[in-house]
Structure 1
Amino acid sequence: MASTASIGGLASGLDTAGIIDSLMQLEAIPQTKLKNQVSTEESKVSALQSINAALATLATTAKALATSSTTTGTWGTLSTTSSSTAVSATATGSASAGTLTVKVDSLATSAKGSLSGTALTAGATYTLSGVTDADGNAITFTTASGTYKELAASINATSATSGLKAVVVNDGSANGVLQVVSTTTGAASNFSIVDGGGAELIAGTGGADGQITVNGVSITGSSNTYANVVDGVSITATAVTDTDATITLARDASTRGDAVKGLVDAINNVLTMISTQTKANGADTSSSGVLTGDSTVRQAGQALINAIWPGGTTSLAQYGVELDRYGQYTFDADKFAEAYAADPDGATAAFVGTDGLASRIQAAAEAASDKYDGYITSSIAGRNSTIERLNDSIDSWDDRLELRRATLERQYTALETALSQLNSQSDWLTSQLASLTKSSD
């Protein structure tokens, strides 16, 4: 606090302002200690918040893996390969690993129709025969002045319900050629557009079902994608084939391994943060972590380690998760793939589900970081309360020190005033003595 004294030691010759400032520095030592405590606590809170955020992220990552479906999604997919570009397949975890032979006998096609050289009547209404909308109403098309472009626009405006698309090709004639095609495939895509008297205006033909042969069994469908041909497997055909194509279904260790590696990386991130913030260096305390000696943070780290190695006969080394000499957990994708190929159910259970690694990590991370009752969350709240109390004490010291400075300034002002009076008296006495001496002479 800056000095407000203006006495300046005029009578005493002392630097009274400097003396007061020095005395105030001594008086403020307890407050300085409180400020240092606040700074230390704020640093610890910041470090705790960073660790807590990392733990919350880890809990989210672990939960996603723990609750993964073993029949769909990342953990449920099977890899599929095909010997022919004309055939492809997708598979979920409900499918069985193995091979399928597929031959594309024919492709499903869309119905098409066209109109040319026929004049349309202005204001006429045309109807899609045999098709109604969701409310059971007939689907109709109109033209204002009887042009093909107007009819095409009307067809396209109802495409969502009619299942038709139209375009006019300019061939040099008055109206051009109106082409209409079904947006779906299969025999059911054939259509007929009739005029008000029921006469057919456009006949959409050529729509046909496709056919494939899977393991010697013929399958027909209105689409070129055949869903659930065998349990969990869908096949898409893009061209007719003369010979069988071989589709191989395999357990996809790669995507599963990536999910496990993501979890292991998240665990390492948290453990590294905890190690950095809690490290102790007796020889050089300046290089020690902010949270050295914090048992709450060490508890979180130990809980994660216990989740990885819960004891008993459980070991993840056979699935590629091990601890290296640097204290980091590593993931060997090749070892995991080998273990998964040998025992997919066992490998799955080691990581996914209520008893898997992901679930154990989720529980440990949430216990520490839960926003309501996590023990690190509670530690942060406790330290924030401490900071608030310390700041209240610092504010109280501001008032106390202000009063102390005012007291010192009054005391030194009184001293200077007294000295000034004494100096004045001394000068008077000196002058009187000098007068007496002159009189005696």
Structure 2
Amino acid sequence: MSSSTRITGISSNMDTDKMVTDLMKIEQLKVDRVKKEKTYTEWQQTAYREQASALKAFQSKYFDVLNPEYNLTTSAAFKSFTTSALIAGEKTAKVEIKGTDSISEKNHVINRIDQLATKDTWKANGKVNGDITSSGLYNVNSINSAVAGGNNTFKLAIDGKYKTITFDAITDLDGDADTDIDDFVNQLNTKIKAAFGDEYDGLVTKKNVSGNDELKFEKNGSTISIVGLDNTALTALGIEDGASTGLAVTDKLSDVFGTIAEDLTKFEINGVKISGLTSDMTVKSFMDKVNNSTAGVELSFSSLTKEFTLKSKSEGSVNNIDLSETNTTNFFANHLKIADDANHAKAVNAQVTIDGIAITKSSNNFTVDGVNYILKETHTTGEAINISVEPNVDAIYDKIKEFVTDYNALVEAVSTEISEKRLRDFMPLTDDEKEAMSEDEIKLWENKAKQGILKNDNILSTMLDSMRVALYSKVEGVGLSLSDIGIETSDDYKDKNKLVIDDTKLKSAIENNYKDVVALFSKDSDQGYLLSGADQSKRYKESGLAERLNDIVNNNIRITRDSSGAKGSLVEKAGIDGVADVTSELYLKLYDYAKKIDDMLDVFSDKQEAYYAKFARMETALSKLNSQSNWLTSQLASM
């Protein structure tokens, strides 16, 4: 509309603004009517989206793979059992029992557990950088010579904490009237104990190798390093600068094992080539490469024993480790100290007798006739182990009851929307109408105006009908129906086709027909939902109740398109919250309303300007007439 400032009625003394406003009322009514239609359509869009959101919440709770505890489309939601393993009526920890959805018999007997399955295990036959040992130390002369020359200090680190150790000339400390290496060992231990504490006493020991006395620095669980402040001092001790007892997994392979590039060019375990190995990678990266490969093994290192261990990830003789590749065998034997010797414990299979039948399993965790056995200890003498597996009737009943309650709430909400009477005397308010009302009055009015906004909606009515039919149509291959397990539609028409539960009948069905109850809800079809070439009619017949309901929900709120290019019905109608929407029916309708209102406002403005122009011309004419009248009057007066 025009925002120009007008001065009107000067000559006519008429209230031009009021007259134009009155003349424009019919045009304003036209604009207001379209605005109300637009507002009502916006309310409809919101109402449809609220229904879609409620369906999405229902789907997320009961049909979502990310919520396995409640996902009724899979048997996992019904896996609740009470189990026992008893010897002479007492609980035993020799076996753990779990139920599965395919359980057939509830009671079994484990007669014997002769052998547990083990993993193929290769332990190292030696430490990697396990100790610090001197070399070439035959007498005390070199040590005393170093002390005399002032070269008698070195840095000793225990678990990264450095202390400077100063050693003295060797004298007779042990009282045997002889100066020997034992005296020096005693001296060093005294110095180390003073520097690090009493618990480190005895860190240095003497050993004799081929008739030669040598020093050894070692403490289990600790990493010891030596750094020379003067190389002459370390030479006198017969120890290399930088000597360490520890292998850090952050060290490079080349630093720990020397030049090994050629050993990594063809590295295979169990016939699987471990690629990407280089001599400058860290020990941890090397182990990660091995462990993350498909070789099915786990390589570990103990900082306490400073030894490597190679173990199969799975139990059983079928998973024994093959290190036959030459380069691989050499690397494990020469560098990791792992070789096929007495430290190799080959994997064996589990040997167990169940219900009088001896069976062999490659794992201690296996399932027979729907019962999951996890063997923990052998059992070769005494009474048999009695096994009992029963569905947890109350837990499964509670879950089904919760589903029925939520389904009924959904049906109630939708049924109310499509049956609620529309109050046609209440339409959306204009801005002028709202100005004359309080906030409470506006809220009350709009609540009445929104009533029945989805009255007799075909999409929601069809969805409810489809759900009712889906619940009571036979599931192919399942010997039970919903009514057979005590769930039926209420006889009271006021309940709007809600479900009611016969508690006794449902609990009995769970206890005595567990497999069929599970299949009734969770059975799936090999025909994929809307997949190309899939037979949707066959899918419907084969699918359990949960999958059928899930498909119906998807048919309404799906944001992906089917083969004909259509999304879910509610999405096609009104779009969905949080998803870009430029093609839904109501979006396009609202777009047309907005454009129509803009066009009407342009026409309104033009017509209003035309009225003002006419009144302006009238004022001009009156002004001229008044001027002429005044002139004539003045002429007559002068005669």
Pairing 1:180–2:309 present: yes
Secondary structure of 1:115's match? coil
CA deviations over 1:119-156 (Å, ceiling 9, x no partner): 999759899xxx963548899x9999xxxxx9999778
Equivalence for 1:203? 342
Of 282-291 and 59-68, more deviation after overlay is shown by 59-68
Query: Contact 2:556 / 2:571 at 8 angstroms: preserved in 1?
Result: yes
| Partners of 1:112 and 1:205 within 8 A in 2 | yes
Q: Which residue of 2 aligns with 1:236?
A: 374
Q: What is the DSSP-based 3-state SS (H/G/I as helix, E as strand, rest coil) of the residue aligned with 2:13?
A: coil
Kindly indicate whether the alpha-carbon contact (under 8 Å) linking 1:16 and 1:412 is maintained by their aligned counterparts in 2. yes
1:16: Cα distance to partner?
1.4
Q: Percent identity?
A: 21
Q: What SS is found at the alignment partner of 1:391?
A: helix
* Other-structure match for 1:432: 635
- 2:109, 2:483 → 1: CA distance? 38
> Is the contact between residue 96 and residue 375 of structure 2 (CA under 8 Å) also seen in structure 1?
yes
CA contact (8 A) 2:423 2:452 kept: no
Deviation at 1:36, TM superposition (A): 0.9
Moved more, 150-159 or 1-10: 150-159
Gaps of 5+ in 2: 86-91, 131-255, 324-328, 427-446, 475-479, 524-539, 575-583
- Aligned residue pairs total 415
Distance 1:74 1:349, change over 3 A: closer
1:82-125 CA-to-partner distances (Å, cap 9, x unmatched) read: 33333113443333132222344443445464535899997598
CA RMSD of aligned residues (A): 4.9
Task: Give the drift of 1:33.
Answer: 0.7
Give the corresponding residue for 2:205: none
Is the counterpart of residue 316 in structure 1 residue 318 in structure 2? no
Contact 1:3/1:17 (CA < 8 Å) preserved in 2?
no
Partner of 1:301: 464
1:115 to 114, 119, 125: 125
2:487–2:499 contact (8 Å) kept in structure 1? no
Q: For each residue in 1:187-239, what CA deviation from the matched residue of structure 2 results, as whole angstroms up to 9, or x when unmatched?
A: 7579996559x9968631455634433234444555432x24x3343421223
Contact 2:108 2:387 (8 Å CA) reproduced: yes
C-alpha change, 1:40 and 1:317, in structure 2 (3 Å) is farther
Alignment partner, residue 87 of structure 1: 95
**CA separation of 1:122 and 1:167: change in aligned 2, threshold 3 A:** closer
Secondary structure (helix, strand or coil) at the match of 1:89 reads strand
Moved more, 327-336 or 273-282: 327-336
Structure 1 residue 260 displacement after superposition: 4.2
Partner of 2:174: none
Match of 1:167 in 2: 301
Match in the other structure for 2:196: none
The reply to whether residue 133 of structure 1 matches residue 269 of structure 2 is yes
Shift of 1:409: 1.0
Q: SS of the counterpart of 1:423?
A: helix
State the TM-score, normalizing by the size of structure 2. 0.52
- Tell me which amino acid in the other structure corresponds to 1:107: L
**2:615 counterpart SS class:** helix
- Could you tell me how far 1:309 is from its partner in structure 2? 5.7
Distance 1:109 1:18, change over 3 A: same
Q: 1:413 aligns with which of 606, 610, 616?
A: 616
Q: Flag the 1:67–1:178 CA change in 2: closer, same or farther, 3 A.
A: closer
**Shift in Å at residue 412 of structure 1?**
0.7
Q: Which residue of 2 aligns with 1:24?
A: 24
Match of 1:439? none
Instruction: Report deviation, 1:28.
Output: 1.9
Please list the CA deviations of residues 420-440 of structure 1 after superposition, one character each: whole Å capped at 9, or x if unmatched: 22222333333334434xxxx
Mapped partners of 1:199, 1:339: distance in 2: 58
Instruction: Give the drift of 1:62.
Output: 6.4
| Correspondent of 1:280 among 411, 414, 421 | 421
C-alpha change, 1:153 and 1:10, in structure 2 (3 Å) is closer
- Choose 361-370 or 423-432, whichever is displaced more: 361-370
Partner of 1:423: 626
Q: Is the Cα–Cα contact under 8 Å of residues 99 and 246 in structure 1 kept in the other structure?
A: yes
What's the counterpart of residue 209 of structure 2? none
1:239-278 per-position Cα deviation (integer Å, ceiling 9, x unaligned) = 3456533322334656765664565355334323323434
Partners of 2:588 and 2:127 in 1: CA distance: 88
2:386: which partner in 1?
246
1:101 corresponds to 2:123: no
Letter in 1 for 2:307: L
Q: Is the 8 A contact 1:2 1:21 kept in 2?
A: no
User: Does residue 512 of structure 2 align to residue 342 of structure 1?
Assistant: yes
**Cα distance 1:303–1:165, how it changes in 2: closer, same or farther (>3 A)?**
closer
| 1:44, distance to aligned residue in structure 2 (A) | 1.2
Amino acid corresponding to residue 425 of structure 1 in structure 2: Q
Q: Which residue of 1 aligns with 2:158?
A: none
- Asked whether the equivalents of residues 31 and 394 of structure 1 are also in contact (C-alpha less than 8 Å), the reply is yes
Distance 1:180 1:73, change over 3 A: same
- For the Cα contact (< 8 Å) 2:73–2:547, is it kept in 1? no
1:376-391 correspondence runs (5 A): 376=570, 379-380=573-574, 381-391=584-594
Partners of 1:94 and 1:232 within 8 A in 2: yes
Q: Which amino acid aligns with 1:45?
A: Q
* Secondary structure in structure 1 of the residue aligned to 2:102: coil
SS at match of 1:401: helix
Q: Which residue of 1 aligns with 2:11?
A: 11
Q: Distance in 2 between matches of 1:367 and 1:156?
A: 46
What is the TM-score of this pair, normalised by structure 1? 0.71
Give ranges in structure 1 of 5+ residues lacking alignment.
145-149, 171-175, 437-441
Change (3 A) 1:315 1:290: same
Q: Which secondary structure does the structure 2 equivalent of 1:203 belong to?
A: coil
Closer/same/farther in 2, CA of residues 199 and 268 from structure 1, 3 Å limit: closer
Measure the CA separation in 2 of the matches of 1:379 and 1:151: 60
Equivalents in 2 of 1:154, 1:308: separation in Å?
56
* Structure 2 CA distance for aligned equivalents of residues 190 and 239 of structure 1: 28
Instruction: Please state whether the residue corresponding to 2:342 is helix, strand or coil.
Output: strand
Give the Cα–Cα distance (whole angstroms) in 1 for the partners of residues 128 and 635 of structure 2: 143
Equivalent residues of 1:369, 1:377 under 8 A apart? yes
Distance (Å, rounded) in 1 between the aligned partners of 2:106 and 2:586: 59
Amino acid at match of 2:625: L
